[in-house]
Chains A and B, each alone.
Chain A
């Protein structure tokens, strides 16, 4: 690159020509060679020294000098200046209001998981479709005692979720707690819902919920939302819909779809109920550790259940005061949990887990509400009885199919053994020809009448061949 003093139009002087000089025209005394050498030596020493110390401090941060907390602290061994150790929060700012999405209120979404791998795809599609601002939703999962690939699949799905190109579609804090409680109870439908297993199962479920909540609740949360992974259908606006009611604890109605032969639909979550006198009297007769579980004949409580009060055409905003809550989908203000309400893993007023949670929230004078006409749909998993029934139905269907196949075969056989209608026609024509011949022969002998009589039985024989088919149809309808 040419650097001219006069680059524009004054290029007459070539840069190599020494005639033009830009050196300052003033006197500069030449330093003495010995002085210059010494100065150069010092400069080099300084340079080498600083390079050496930089390298040393870089590789051994512990050797860095302590320069105090002033502006020089940038160079010290403070681990690094980006490390923040003190946090301040004002809990008055996270009380939870009816319009949380406008006030940027954070929600903690908790989901306890166990062998839930088959449901995760459905659950994540629900998550992605939620209309509440995703960056305000923190996700917390507790994965325990899982024998399938729940953990791996969950991690993969969450990482996909956070890698969303749009920052607004990404979620907030995501924590996966791995904790096995060594539960012996099977998670399959039958053992899960059997009466004898209920108390123990619910206590360990409660334990899992408490571990999850206590590890995941932060001072920034205004709301906590509990959601089961096996919800099949729910409005995408469910968080806003529940929040709008501005209640301390609120649950929707939970039903499940059924196959047609079972009636199409059914109440699912029977844990949301209002307390009854009968149940209170019953509670008094039970011992300290007993747990009343709803939906079993063993404890007839005569409580009004949220699930049974549903009217498909009712006002979805209608509220109902309840005492026990079901855990499929609970929205609660974080201050409920902050004040100590949790899922009792012991018998609290003869209830455990979510029902005990409702009871405890009531005990601490929080409002607990259910929405009878606002419904979400739980996944239908056939019970053992249903499966048996379905097996029978399947068997019957197979039998019927086999029967039909056999019938068809017989029919074909008939068709094949006897000839096809065209053959019949040909034969008929032949027969008629023969009759004609005979008639003509007989004309001379007897007369017309005998010929007609001879023709009739032949005509009748044709529909008789087709009759088994008709018979089969009748059987069909009966079957």
Chain B
């Protein structure tokens, strides 16, 4: 048939359809090429079998799964420096979660460290309370990871805990009873270790431990703490409350686990049996240790740092090599210390020092 005639008979709709088809073809054609891109150790993993601290590219369902690649990780080139952003150092924020606070998540989103270098890890107990926290967290994660690109985190890992939590109630009063402390802290230590050792990838430079009830930190928290370039560093943990005497909002000390050791405490420990634990913040055990919460002075230089012997896990920035060397949270009495305090001791045995910032505050949720 003569061609001018066929052109004339063509409907505008046909042309539009052809155009759309053309665009569709282009998208399909070019997106098909992306899968072939190989990965280079950091950034993105090519297979689902990869460190959880990295996002991965799903294989297309119609293709046979490719053999997992041989991946090299150049850990000699991994740095932990005082200028983490310039060196593109990745931070893994780890949180053992029993209750989900919106304040915690909002605060996390406010962190000014580039989110593309931040991976998150959560461990949630398999309890009723845990299920609620899990659902709440999942909703927020989905929202954030499909939201604006700049706010998205590199990857998020959510674990359900295997060890049974010995304490049914997470009530503040119940939780802090001395007799419950050892079992509670041991379970906590196991949860922390499980979270740490399964999510820490070969490309992780820093680990930021952040409890789920820390609801307010400076936005530049990671940069500020990293700038000290020390193995382990903890800010001072306070709590905001309504002071009835002053009729105004006020702050009070919260975390007692950051301390400098005292001769009294050492003498007490020397007299203890092998399996006994020395806890801080109980009248039954007056240790006379110098507590960092008590050192707070609003008028002092906020950059002052002190050397600590025991640390708390509420907010704690740790160089990944400290954990890699084996410093973990003992779930058993280690030099009569347990969990985060035992961690500081174990790190010290491996020649890694702990520091605290008495005048740099982060805030705990007030129940």
> A residues engaging B (CB < 8 A)?
39, 43, 46-47, 50-51, 54, 58, 66, 69, 73-75, 77, 80, 82-92, 94-95, 138, 155, 158-159, 162-164, 167, 170-180, 206-207, 210-211, 213-221, 335, 337-340, 342-347, 363-364
Contacts and interface: CB of A to CB of B under 8 A. Distances in A.
B49 interface: yes
A345 to B, nearest CB: 5
B197 A214 contact: yes
B253 interface: no
B83 interface: no
B239 interface: no
B51 A218 contact: yes
Highest count of chain B CB atoms <10 Å: which of A54, A167, A347: A54
B197 A217 contact: yes
Interface stretch (B278-286, B295-303, B320-328): B320-328
Given A82-B60, A91-B159, A176-B71, 8 more contacts: A85-B154, A90-B126, A177-B75, A215-B75, A215-B201, A218-B51, A220-B49, A346-B346
Highest count of chain A CB atoms <10 Å: which of B73, B149, B329, B330: B73
B67 A89 contact: no
Given A54-B23, A178-B74, A167 B328 contact: no
Given A85-B152, A219-B198, A50 B19 contact: yes
B47 A173 contact: yes
A162 B26 contact: no
A153 B83 CA distance: 36
A2 B133 CA distance: 70
Contact of A91 (B31, B59, B160): B160
B210 interface: no
Contacts of B202: 175, 177, 215-216
A122 B150 CA distance: 49
A219 B189 contact: no
Interface string B342-359: 000010011000000000
Given A58-B26, A84-B58, A171 B68 contact: yes
B158 interface: yes
B27 A89 contact: no
A364 B198 contact: no
Interface string B167-204: 00000000000000000000001100110111111100
Contact of B332 (A43, A54, A215, A363): A363
Q: Contact size class for B?
A: 35 or more
B56 interface: yes
A308 to B, nearest CB: 30
A213 B16 CA distance: 57
Contacts of B90: none
A158 B68 CA distance: 11
A338 B194 contact: yes
19 contacts: A43-B15, A43-B16, A84-B55, A86-B145, A89-B52, A138-B49, A167-B67, A172-B49, A174-B70, A180-B76, A207-B326, A210-B324, A214-B323, A219-B159, A221-B198, A338-B197, A340-B329, A345-B325, A346-B349
A342 B16 CA distance: 65
The 4 closest A-B pairs by CB, nearest first: A340-B193, A173-B49, A91-B162, A215-B202
Contact of A179 (B75, B126, B155): B75
Contacts of A171: 68
Highest count of chain A CB atoms <10 Å: which of B19, B48, B59, B141: B19
B192 to A, nearest CB: 8
A87 B19 CA distance: 38
B156 interface: yes
Given A80-B34, A338-B193, A340-B189, A87 B158 contact: yes
A143 to B, nearest CB: 9
A85 B145 contact: yes
B331 to A, nearest CB: 6
A163 B349 CA distance: 45
Interface in B55-89: 55-60, 64-65, 67-76
B70 A83 contact: no
B139 to A, nearest CB: 12
Nearest to B126: A92
A86 B328 contact: no
B107 interface: no
A8 to B, nearest CB: 21
B44 interface: yes
B332 A47 contact: no
A159 B70 contact: yes
A140 B331 CA distance: 27
A89 B159 contact: yes
Nearest to B34: A80
Contacts of B15: 43, 47
A69 B22 contact: no
A180 B77 CA distance: 10
B172 to A, nearest CB: 26
A58 B23 CA distance: 11
A58 B197 CA distance: 40
B194 A339 contact: yes
Given A46-B16, A206-B326, A90 B72 contact: no
A354 to B, nearest CB: 13
B71 A339 contact: no
